[in-house]
Amino acid sequence: MTDQLLRALLDDASLFPPANLPMPAAVAAHNRHARAWYSDMCGPFVCADTRLPDLRTALTSGNVAAIDLSLVVTGGADAVAAALDAVAADPRMRLRAVEVPAAKDGDPAQAVSAVVSALDSAPLAAAAAYVEFPLRAVADPATAGPLLALADERGYRPKLRTGGTTADAFPDEATLAACLTAIIDRRTPFKCTAGLHHALRHTAADSGFEHHGFLNVLLAVSAAARGSPAAEVAALLAERDPETVVAGISGLDDDAIAECRYLFTSFGTCSTDEPVADLVALGLLARR
């Protein structure tokens, strides 16, 4: 596997469920990952706007000079300005991305438009901006195109929620495949969040939840980029056989990898150690 496929794939969301690390432990672990042999795989530290005071305290107590930050604005469109002001007030927080959920209630287009308007007025500088879309609306061919256009025509990127703390937070293969094909048809970069900290599709032993695998998603994105229909993309998301998935990943050439990672920028994971361990166990990553 080339470094290109894995570079900056893992956004450190260890503050979020199910890890729920305390802030000092999360910052310490992030710094450990940044010094580790797999550091090239590691992206920014994901922190909710409501936790910024805790982050400031942890940076001071841990004597941390700077941290690359992906800011989750939990309050949605109305909270964007205040959240960015709070980050700008502390030069140790290097803003790399902003992630804003569209309101779940009401009309999806109005919700996305509100986030886009807030981002248009925000001092983003070079930070990437992600809008968390309602999956059902993106999966519906009748609404996907106009909805995605609201954001990507302004240079903002979709964020897809692929898991959570309840079973219904995990989209099925058909829904996620429809979202992927709709986004990739527009050649729009996107990220995922939650539920992807293991490499392969599996049923969680503790909860019984059906988890997508991040290698499955990489294969599905590559297939969608080649123009494969949604049914084939869904089949790749559903594949559980390790040998089949590893063979598919190993068969990606440099052009396919470049296209895949241009589109699938990263995913937020509550664990960095688990994805790395899975890749080593599958023979796709060699400890250096």
Q: Retrieve residue 244's tokens.
A: 């089949």
Total count of domains within the chain: 1
Tens of pLDDT along 213-264? 999 999 999 999 999 999 999 999 999 999 999 999 999 999 999 999 999 9
Report yes or no on 286 lying in a domain.
Answer: no
Whether the Cβ atoms of residue 162 and residue 196 lie closer than 8 Å to each other: yes
Q: Mean pLDDT throughout 67-79?
A: 97
Report yes or no on 284 lying in a domain.
Answer: no
What pLDDT was estimated at residue 211? 95
Report yes or no on 135 lying in a domain.
Answer: yes
Chain mean pLDDT for the chain? 96
User: In this structure, what CATH number is given to the domain that contains residue 132?
Assistant: 3.20.20.70
Tens of pLDDT along 164-194? 999 999 999 999 999 999 999 999 999 999 9
Neighbours of 255 (CB within 10 A): 8
- Which residue range is the domain that position 271 belongs to? 3-277
Report yes or no on 285 lying in a domain.
Answer: no
User: Which among 132, 123, 133 is positioned nearest to 48, based on CA atoms?
Assistant: 132
Report yes or no on 242 lying in a domain.
Answer: yes
| pTM for the whole structure | 0.96
Report yes or no on 267 lying in a domain.
Answer: yes
Q: What's CA 8's distance to the chain center, in Å?
A: 11
Report yes or no on 110 lying in a domain.
Answer: yes
pLDDT of 2 over the 80 cut: no
Q: Which residue has the tokens 């094909």?
A: 181
Phi and psi torsions of 22, nearest 5°: -60, 150
Tens of pLDDT along 12-25? 999 999 999 999 99
Could you tell me the pLDDT band of residue 139, with boundaries at 50, 70 and 90?
very high
Report yes or no on 282 lying in a domain.
Answer: no
What pLDDT was estimated at residue 106? 86
Q: Which residue has the tokens 């084939």?
A: 232
User: Which among 257, 258, 219, 255 is positioned nearest to 236, based on CA atoms?
Assistant: 219
